[in-house]
Amino acid sequence: MDNLILEDQLSTLSLDPRSQAFAMKMDEQYPSLRSEFHLPEGIYFCGNSLGLQPKSLQAYVTEELRIWATHAINGHFSRAGNRAWANIDLLVVPQLAKIVGSKEKEVIAMGSLTSNLHFLMASFYRPNVNGRYKIIIEGKAFPSDHYAIESQIQHHGIDPEKGLVTIDPTGPSYGLTTEQIFRAIDQHADETAILFLSGVQFYTGQLFEMEKITRYAQNCGMIVGWDLAHAVGNVELKLSEWNVDFAVWCSYKYLNSGPGAIAGLFVNERYDGQLRLAGWWGHDRETRFEMINKFKPMPGASGYQLSNPSVIDVISLYSSLEIYGKTDMATLTNRSNLLTRYLKKLLLDLPSYSEIFHIITPELSGSQLSLYFRNGKMQNVFDRLKDHKITVDARRPDVIRVAPTALYNTFEELRLFVEVLGNILEKILNVATIQS
């Protein structure tokens, strides 16, 4: 559909897509929220690794530091509503729920992605209780996810050779088809406890068909968890409607909350009563400070909290979520698709396309294209782009990831990037011709 919108714009505007006039027109019709962010020098396409700093953040952090300096312990209770530190976790819940498409009680900001995954596995992976012992993941899962899942299997005394099932891309394609995932599910249907995949693949940018895959695996008796590190704040999610069992994410990528900032998780409300690793912050808010040593979990995801959260972290996330509050995920996803398709069109038009590089990102993707460079050319291209103050991400040895982020990147930035890249590649081609 977004392809049609782009084609439609190209024909109505009757401008060359490579022209500045076209890019400017698109930016006018589909404006970004870039004025809300501090922008580093040059052009930044790494919002998938580390999002930009909201301009409002500094004042928010300064305010918390001031309260700490002037009120100390009284900051926990003596402020209005959810700005009291004892309730600060609630401050971000409504907007987080909108971003992941869930009920408010099903999400919470806490911990970090990998540690949250371990905590949730303690609840959802209990091979000695229900007999199912396998976990299915992607062969090219983010290493932290792979390590976490493998160590969980070992933790239960199971050999990962038997317990860990990986789905690997076949042939030259880097993507995984939904059918391929279904086949892996079928093959291990009776022994598998959990299917754990990423919503958007970090390396290729592929967007998985989360709803279909969730339903299929659940029909085979599996619990389905999603790693949304590259999906949250990037693509439209409907975790409640899709009946997802659990999900984890970090907030420093598309969610712009700062390096290592507080992460988040989703637990479907049907798991309210289940066993979990407990901590005092998951205990009933009303009686938490009575210190009664009888754990009474709060309903929903709040009940999975362990520790009191870092206030600076939460306020940092809040300042970014406020920007999300000025738009909605449907609008952002539409803009992101237009940017990504525009980038793709310009890249495919380069004379050096397929001669030096090609796109490995499948058709269904988030705000990211991964470019595979042949014959060890990647580093050189990456360095030349850096000379032009264009920040992209190098996945050594051969891939550059480019993420046009819907909140702050523009069509004009993409046009400039491809112009610069085209010149760099032309030089490389010329040198190769002279040498041969």
Ligand X SMILES: *Cc1c(COP(=O)(O)O)cnc(C)c1O
Nearest distance, CB of residue 248 and ligand X, angstroms: 8
- Give the one residue of 114, 166, 334, 352 binding ligand X; rule: CB under 6 A: 114
Q: Which stretch binds ligand X (CB under 6 A): 64-72, 139-147, 278-286, 336-344?
A: 139-147
- Give the one residue of 184, 250, 356, 428 binding ligand X; rule: CB under 6 A: 250
Is residue 227 annotated as involved in ligand binding?
A: yes
The reply on whether position 227 binds ligand X by CB under 6 A is yes
Place of tokens 């998951």: 282
Q: Which stretch binds ligand X (CB under 6 A): 94-102, 140-148, 318-326, 377-385?
A: 140-148
- Give 284-346 as a DSSP string: -TTTGGG--S---BPSSGGGG--SPPPHHHHHHHHHHHHHHTTS-HHHHHHHHHHHHHHHHHH
Q: How many residues bind ligand X (CB under 6 A)?
A: 12
CB 348 within 8 Å of CB 335: no
Q: Which stretch binds ligand X (CB under 6 A): 141-149, 286-294, 306-314, 345-353?
A: 141-149
The SS3 assignment for 80 reads coil
Is residue 380 annotated as involved in ligand binding?
A: no
- Give the one residue of 67, 100, 113, 239 binding ligand X; rule: CB under 6 A: 113
Place of tokens 């409300």: 269
Q: Which stretch binds ligand X (CB under 6 A): 98-106, 122-130, 138-146, 393-401?
A: 138-146
- Give the one residue of 45, 85, 142, 372 binding ligand X; rule: CB under 6 A: 142
Sign of the alpha-carbon torsion through 46, 51, 54, 55: negative
Site string for ligand X, 58-77 (x = CB under 6 A): --------------------
Q: Give dist(CA 270, CA 244) in Å, integer.
A: 11
Of 203, 260, 201, the residue nearest 228 (C-alpha): 201
**How far, in whole angstroms, is CA 271 from its chain's centroid?**
24
- Residue 224's H or E segment, with its range, is strand 223-227
What residues line the site for ligand X (CB under 6 A)?
112-114, 142, 144-145, 198, 202, 227, 229-230, 250
Binding-site sequence positions for pyridoxal 5'-phosphate: 113-114, 142-145, 198, 227, 230, 252, 280, 308
